[in-house]
Structures are given as C-alpha cells and as structure tokens.
Amino acid sequence: MQVTLAQLTPKLSEKQHNLLLIREAIAKASKEKSDIIIFPELFLTGYSVGENISDLAEVTNGPSLTEIKKLCRKHSIFAVVGFPEKGDDGNYYISSAFINEKGGLQGVYRKVHLFDSEKKYFSQGTEIPVFDTPLGKIGLMICFDVEFPEVARALKLKGADLIIISNANMVPYEVHHHIYAKSRAMENEIPVIICNRLGSEGELNFCGDSMVINSDGKVLLSMGNKEGVKTIGLPLHSSTDPKLGYIAKRRRELYSV
C-alpha cells in the first residue's frame, strides 16, 4: 500500500488557505500513485480554535468536507482529515473524517482522550471503531490517544491491520509521540502511521516528526522538522518475530482489575 503524509503548517482559522493546502497535497499524492493521504489533527482550521469553535466547526456534510470528498473522488484516493466537528447532539468534537476513494464518508473518529484545555471546548468521543476498507481494516486515533495503550490494543483486537494517528503535538512533548507510536506498533504487531504538523500558534510550537512505522517498530519514513508531502510503500502484513508473539501470548485472565 502506498501511503502519503502531509506534514504541513495550517493557518489558524483560515479554512480556505488550509483547503488549498489539502487540494495541493491530494494532487501530489495522486501523481505518486498513493492509496491514502493523512493530514494532522484539526488541520482544516488549525489547532487553537478555542473561543471560535462555534464559527469554525462543521458537520460531516459541511462545505469544507464536501469539497474534500470531491477531491478524493476526482483523484481516487482515501484521506484522513482532522477537523472540528459539530455533532448531531450539539457538542463539539476533535474528529478525523475518513473519506474513501469514491468521495464517500467511510466514517468519523472522535478523539477519546482530550489533552489539557481541549476539555473546555470539546467533548470526548465514546467509540473506538475499525473501518473495513478495500485497503484493509483501519483504526484511527488522534494525538493524546497514542499515550494510552488500551486504544491501540482495542483496535488490534477488533481486527485492525493498520493504525493511523493524526497529531498536533508540540514542544516539549516531541519525545512522547516518537516513543509511544513505535511502542504501539511493536506491542500490537501492527503498522502505525503518525502525521504531525509544523508551525506555531501563540506559545505552541508544533514539532513535526511524522513517521511511518512497520509492525516490528522499524521507522520506514521519518520527516523530522521539514515541511512536505511524502509517499512511501507500507506492507500491511509483514512477518513479525514468532518468538515474541505478544498478541498470541497474552494472558487475558490476569488483566482484569
């Protein structure tokens, strides 16, 4: 499978600018024969939406996502796009829209672990779905979720072949996502993609370091702090060391507390 990471710098509250970045990135990924492109957390609006959430959030059939769906259909590519979602319940969520190659909404993942002041503006998601696609069974996470091993393990046990993480991680926490993403791949014997952003918003400095990691924890692509749109081949079902066999050797009867 060919996967593309869009490690870019969105402008806060400027959807049209960010849609242009999305449009250009999807076109580049398409030229490189990519199957799927991943964007960072809240990429549509920038991270610090805060008090402006009611003006910036969209429903899943809102104008911005409708445009992105058309782009996916035009270029026959899957996309994972971070956006602030206004739910049918009136609450706001940090969400990832999973759009398929026909321009349909494969599904939406809502961040289940909110970080710091996010709790002032957003509600927590309540589900950890796995999406069955022609590419394989794919689970999504968002940023702080990666620091809770239960999420990745739940996705693996539900049959996921791949975990995709949209990130908006900042200094001084760069070491966290680097270590945790590799750990989630190794302990669950599953490839992990983590796509982070760059740039600054107020006192927040986002650290990049997007990665593609195979099921052994080997980093196949590391983007460091350089802006760009990169594509790489990722085998979903590469063999792992049978002497380890973490999933097969679990002792479930001991873990309930």
pLDDT at 236: 85
Please state the domain count of the chain. 1
Give the β-pairing of 130-133 and 105-110: unpaired
DSSP per-residue codes, 7-21? E--PPTT-HHHHHHH
Given the residues 15, 41, 58, 195, the one annotated as active site = 41
First to last CA, the chain: 39
Which one, of 182, 181, 155, lies nearest residue 166 by Cα?
181
The whole-angstrom distance between residue 98's C-alpha and the CA centroid of its chain comes to 9
Residue 244: inside a domain, yes or no?
no
Residue 248: inside a domain, yes or no?
no
Is 41 marked active-site? yes
At residue 30, what are phi and psi to the nearest 5 degrees? -65, -40
Residue 251: inside a domain, yes or no?
no
pTM score:
0.96
Residue 150: inside a domain, yes or no?
yes
CA distance 253 to 224: 41
The whole-angstrom distance between residue 65's C-alpha and the CA centroid of its chain comes to 16
Give how far Cα 140 sits from Cα of 20, 38, 53, 194, Å.
24, 11, 23, 10
Residue 257: inside a domain, yes or no?
no
8 A C-beta contact, residue 145 and residue 117: no
Given the residues 85, 86, 118, 143, the one annotated as active site = 143
Is 111 marked active-site? yes
Digit-coded pLDDT (tens) for 172-215: 999 999 999 999 999 999 999 999 999 999 999 999 999 999 99
CATH code, domain carrying 215: 3.60.110.10
Residue 77 belongs to domain spanning = 2-237
Residue 242: inside a domain, yes or no?
no
Q: At what angle do helices 174-188 and 149-157 cross, to 10 degrees?
A: 30
Whether residue 238 is predicted with pLDDT greater than 90 in this model: the reply is: no
Which tokens hold the place of 161? Answer: 């072949």
Is 118 marked active-site? no
Digit-coded pLDDT (tens) for 55-89: 999 999 999 999 999 999 999 999 999 999 999 99
Given the residues 28, 111, 156, 182, the one annotated as active site = 111
pLDDT at 92: 98
Q: Which residue has the tokens 């006192």?
A: 203
